A and B are shown apart, each in its own frame.
Chain A
């Protein structure tokens, strides 16, 4: 079976409909945005460390860069022992509540 083409291998060509110019008065090229705006319209290609969850890592970046909102693309779960731990913690909390 031939290997299917992945999205990152797809080649696209540009089809030109009309010629047009852009007015330099409005907006900025992505690389020429003022620093403040550059951060707010920016993405970090981060290497996730193995311990914390994706959400925790996103929260750390938010705190480092002193931003109000950050998001992350595609959850990479933390180590499974951490999941088990949280599960046992919950069970413990449940049991103590019963007592």
Chain B
């Protein structure tokens, strides 16, 4: 129960919504309650790939109703006696503790999760992590020297967390309106990424690469490209501070 834990500071906590539902990868040690052959364990773990039904465990921070979660892959790594080591990539909100328990039920002997380490959380990966000690040390260094380079060693801009969310880049003149909660309209769009579908979560960015808001797309990438008027995306969560860009929803261009 260690590993990648993105900590959002002050304003950036608004992007948590996008981070919580992003994909995760874990390395897990499962302890079996009986002797089972390696082939059988491998076979059962493979069965759990793709979409599974899962009811959150008794001690969970969400409502305990049956839900569907996608397991992208389970790679069996090693087995030592009753300890099984495997790597699992899954959708956000999958309980690995429950996955181990369910695998134990299928094996017939029962099992539980012994150790867990998160290796990927959305765009954040294990080989870029910093420890609490690093944070305390570098922050003290920064306070002494006031050098921005030190800050950049351990803090990343919040835009990094949106790396996997499809983005729509907008004109300067559209930014303020979105900051005040308006939907994004077609004339404001400058460019956009492929893979947007109607109803999916997108991020609205300025041409400088700052995040403006999280929004729900109303059309697919290709449709948006051809649109001349109408709402392209409905604003869900505003990230940028208001009045960073001038209001020009009545006056026109900057």
Name, among A61, A78, A83, the residue most crowded by chain B CB atoms within 10 Å (CB to CB).
Answer: A61
Interface residues of A in 51-72 (CB under 8 A from B): 54, 57-58, 60-61, 64-65, 67-72
- Main SS class of interface, B: mixed
Which residues of the partner chain B approach A31 to less than 8 Å between Cβ atoms? 152, 157
CB atoms of A45 and B4 under 8 A apart: yes
A94, CB-defined interface residue at 8 Å: no
Given contacts A47-B130, A50-B2, contact A8 B11 (CB under 8 A): no
> B1-26 toward A: CB 8 Å interface, digit per residue (1/0)?
11111111111110110011011110
Cross-interface CB contact of B61 among A5, A40, A71, A75, cutoff 8 Å: A75
CB atoms of B172 and A43 under 8 A apart: no
B191, CB-defined interface residue at 8 Å: yes
**A78 to B92 CA separation, bound complex (whole angstroms):** 18
Which residues of the partner chain A approach B6 to less than 8 Å between Cβ atoms? 43-46, 72-74
Question: Please, how many residues of chain B have a CB less than 8 angstroms from a CB on the other chain?
Answer: 84
CB atoms of B164 and A10 under 8 A apart: yes
**A61 to B13 CA separation, bound complex (whole angstroms):** 14
Cross-interface CB contact of B172 among A5, A26, A67, cutoff 8 Å: A26
Given contacts A6-B89, A15-B225, A74-B92, contact A42 B9 (CB under 8 A): yes
CB atoms of B131 and A49 under 8 A apart: yes
Interface residues of A in 1-34 (CB under 8 A from B): 1, 3-8, 10, 12-23, 26-31, 33
Given contacts A73-B121, A73-B122, contact A45 B193 (CB under 8 A): no
CB atoms of B155 and A46 under 8 A apart: no
Given contacts A43-B8, A45-B128, A74-B121, contact A38 B151 (CB under 8 A): yes
Cross-interface CB contact of B171 among A4, A20, A47, A48, cutoff 8 Å: A20
Find the A residue at minimum CB distance from B212: A27
Interface residues of B in 135-167 (CB under 8 A from A): 135-136, 139, 142, 146, 148, 151-152, 154-161, 164, 166
Residues of A at under 8 Å CB distance from B? 1, 3-8, 10, 12-23, 26-31, 33, 35, 38-50, 54, 57-58, 60-61, 64-65, 67-79, 83
* Known A4-B50, A30-B209; 5 more pairs at CB < 8 Å: A14-B191, A14-B192, A16-B190, A22-B207, A61-B132
| A and B contact pairs by CB, cutoff 8 A, 13 listed | A1-B49, A1-B50, A4-B73, A7-B22, A29-B209, A40-B10, A44-B130, A49-B132, A50-B2, A60-B132, A76-B1, A77-B1, A83-B59
